[in-house]
Amino acid sequence: MSNSRYISLWFPYFGAERVQRIFKLEKKHELAIIENNGNTQTLSSVSFGAYNSGLNIGQPLHDAKAICPQLVTHIRSVKCELAFLHALCRWYTQFTPWVAADRYDGVTLNIKGCAHLFGSEAKMLDLIVSRTEKVGLTVTSGMADTVGAAWALARFTHKPTENYLTSNSIDQEARATRSRAKKKPQTNSSKQRTIQLLKNNTTRIAPVGHTYKSLAELPIASLRIENEIVTKLDQLGLKFVKDLLKQPRAPLARRFGTTLITRLDQALGHVPESISPITNRKYFGVRISFPEPIGLIEDIKKTIEKLLTRLCNKLKTAVLGLQKLKIDLIFSNNETQTLLVSMAFFTNEPDRIFSVLLLKLDEIKQNFGIDIIRLEAINVGPILQSQSVNNLEIHEKAVKNQNTTLKNLIERLGTKVGLDAITRHIPAESHIPERSWQILNAAHSDYNLGNWPTSSCNRPSFLWPPEALEGPKDSRLEDHFIWRKKLFHVKTKLGPERIAPEWWIEDNNWRSGVRDYWQVHCDDGQFLWLFYAYGAQLPGGWFCHGKFG
């Protein structure tokens, strides 16, 4: 068994307490976070005050309003919750560098070799819980040898507690006695579980090597399995983990799937399970808060220019550049407008970025004054530093300057139409006319025009899908033909140039077999590219494939 030790932290009111921290609301305030679940709005998170009023996660909004008329609701933002949870993970790295997010409302820490720095495991866990509560979050915790056991201890307990009435149900009795049956209280397991954890024991530690003993009295749901499997096991009388361990494994796997056995083995440490720590992504951003709101475009320009200089200095220190810049304008009425600026390549030159950014300032909405301006470099990457060695590099520098001018043009055009809408054509290694080039994104690709290959074969300026001709019946080109319902007379012709399909690539357009191409001048001035297909999987014939300029 591994000697690793894990701490699992669970925040039962995570979504609601995140909003309470933003608006500085008390915990007794009735607040619920709602989300759309099909055609119904349900509660995704509730505050401590709303929870004590009888509200639960997953409850429809209209039922919650009937129970708690003074309830205040807020739309759920999964993106903001994940960002806050990621920030918490970074904050917990003060205790151990091995921290990972657990779904949407939990954090897992690997504290191997760290507990002695805080005196003991119990002191370390107490310090984590106390500091978490100081930032305004309710937390329950568990510590064990495995991730699954710590998760179970943080969310479940075997100690009994009082029941809570959520609805009334009548026992399934005989029809003669049903009228005399008494209404029986029905227990809400999720609410009872949270009350047990918060009232009986908020921190639970499984001693080293005692994982089985700590899990034995916990309910089956503590194994991180689906609710349907928990319900079926409960109907069979298997309510606790110890009841499951007494059963043969093969029939359980056949009836409930291998997930049940895997989760059980992970919790007990028979199957290894590790966590993936968060990546320590470098953050490059600057901001400024104004004592009085600003609204003049000149003031906004000067402020952004100063912030951009500060941001680029940070990037230069790290020898990095940005390719996408986000500007957040926070107005005095708490509304936020975001502007995105994309560059063709990584750069940390403020003048270059600011010249492109000026094209975006006309998108600023007419609103109240701006209180805060924040700049953040989203896409950050290394900048290749080059140094001239001798005079032979002068020509290469000139070519590089030409490419820089082209990229500046791409950046300015991309500000208006988007960088993804600007493409470039570069040659490809294929003798098939349709595959002799490839289309790439102009902003994220580069090609030296001096390396453009030359060909001894003349190729048309315009290509289209082959269009059938009327008239010729064999491989001999006659003096006239009909194309697009128009009669053409052949003046001169040059050919044939035989092109065979690439046998290693399946192409429906070349299922007509080998082609003989002809360059044909017509009496009306048309210079066409015709070919005769000899036929293979599809019948052959004469076709027009393009036109020369």
Q: Give the Cα separation of 43 and 51 in Å (integer).
A: 11
Please give the pLDDT value at position 143. 95
State the residue for tokens 């919650």: 64
Please give the pLDDT value at position 151. 95
Read off the tokens for 40: 């119904």
> What single-letter amino acid sits at 66?
A
Banded pLDDT at 309 (limits 50, 70, 90):
very high
Q: Is the pLDDT assigned to residue 224 strictly greater than 60?
A: yes
State the virtual CA torsion across 296, 298, 299, 304 in degrees, nearest 10: 130
Please give the pLDDT value at position 399. 47
Q: What does the DSSP assignment read for 39-86?
A: TEEEEEEE-HHHHHTT--TT-BHHHHHHH-TT-EEEE--HHHHHHHHH
Q: Give the Cα separation of 413 and 436 in Å (integer).
A: 27
Q: Is 133 helix (H, G, I), strand (E, B) or coil?
A: helix
Read off the tokens for 291: 């004592």
Please give the pLDDT value at position 203. 55
Per-residue pLDDT of 238-265, as tens digits, reads 999 999 989 999 999 999 999 999 999 9
Q: Is 342 helix (H, G, I), strand (E, B) or coil?
A: strand
Q: Give the Cα separation of 118 and 141 in Å (integer).
A: 17
Lowest mean pLDDT among 39-43, 203-207, 445-449: 445-449
Please give the pLDDT value at position 385. 55
In whole numbers, what is the pLDDT of the chain averaged over residues? 83
Q: Is the pLDDT assigned to residue 87 strictly greater than 70?
A: yes
Q: Give the Cα separation of 395 and 393 in Å (integer).
A: 5
Q: Are 291 and 233 in contact (CB under 8 A)?
A: no
β-pair partners for 337: 329
CB atoms within 10 A of CB 400: 13
Q: Give the Cα separation of 268 and 262 in Å (integer).
A: 10
Read off the tokens for 53: 């009023």
Read off the tokens for 24: 């500085």
State the residue for tokens 């046998």: 503
- Widest pairwise Cα distance in the chain: 107
Q: Give the Cα separation of 122 and 203 in Å (integer).
A: 9
Per-residue pLDDT of 186-211, as tens digits, reads 434 444 455 445 544 445 899 999 99
The residue among 412 and 53 whose pLDDT is bigger is 53
Per-residue pLDDT of 152-166, as tens digits, reads 999 998 754 343 333
Q: Is the pLDDT assigned to residue 282 strictly greater than 60?
A: yes
pTM above 0.75, yes or no: no
Please give the pLDDT value at position 400. 52
Per-residue pLDDT of 316-344, as tens digits, reads 998 899 989 999 999 988 888 999 998 87
> What single-letter amino acid sits at 454?
T
> What are the b/e assignments for 109-125, b being 16+ CB within 10 Å?
bbbeebbeebeebeebb
Read off the tokens for 259: 């997930």
Question: Which secondary-structure segment (H or E) carries 231?
Answer: helix 227-235
φ/ψ bin of 38: left (φ > 0), alpha (ψ from -120 to 50), beta (otherwise): left
Please give the pLDDT value at position 476. 83
Q: Give the Cα separation of 44 and 50 in Å (integer).
A: 12
Pairing of strands 480-483, 106-110: unpaired
Per-residue pLDDT of 168-190, as tens digits, reads 333 333 333 334 444 443 434 44
Per-residue pLDDT of 387-435, as tens digits, reads 444 444 544 554 455 567 777 777 777 777 777 778 887 888 777 888 7
State the virtual CA torsion across 50, 53, 56, 61 in degrees, nearest 10: -80
Q: Is 379 helix (H, G, I), strand (E, B) or coil?
A: strand
State the residue for tokens 């309710």: 138
